[in-house]
Amino acid sequence: MGNKNKTISFRVSQEKFETLREIAEERDLSLSAVFRDYVDLLVAHDGQVEVVPEHEVNERTSDDTSFPPKVEVPKSFVREHERLELEAEHLREQLEEHKRYVTRLRQELDEHEDDEEVVQLEDLDDENEEGEPSYRIGSSFEESSF
């Protein structure tokens, strides 16, 4: 398989589109060529491309901050982030262990489903003869006899 070109599409406002078209016309390029050049530049510099107006290009000096800007993060923040990552990993492991346990219980239930007879409480009430006292949880003492 050779290199296949892919199409990227996105939406911009009418005003931005007109501006892009004017830029392409000024440089005697097609609009597609402008985007292809930008994407090639972006890939070549590993995503570290800053788009600035032409008049600012010459104004920039090496004293300016590099692009992308770098921010120093406190060690406490990094430690907290690492702690939360470890905790999340531990919780994922616990979840997987719980899923395996539930799966094992379901398998055991399926295996023993035919072995044992399940007795429903309602069936016991139906089998109760008229003369025998019935017991109910939460009922008053008058209804049941001891």
Least confident of 2-16, 32-46, 56-70, 96-110: 56-70
Q: Supply the pTM of this predicted model.
A: 0.34
> Using one digit for the tens of pLDDT, what is the confidence trace for 92-141?
999 999 999 999 999 988 887 766 566 667 766 665 555 566 666 664 55
Domain boundaries, given as residue ranges, for the chain = 14-57, 75-113
Contact 132, 124 (CB under 8 A): no
Least confident of 21-25, 61-65, 71-75, 87-91: 61-65
Contact 82, 101 (CB under 8 A): no
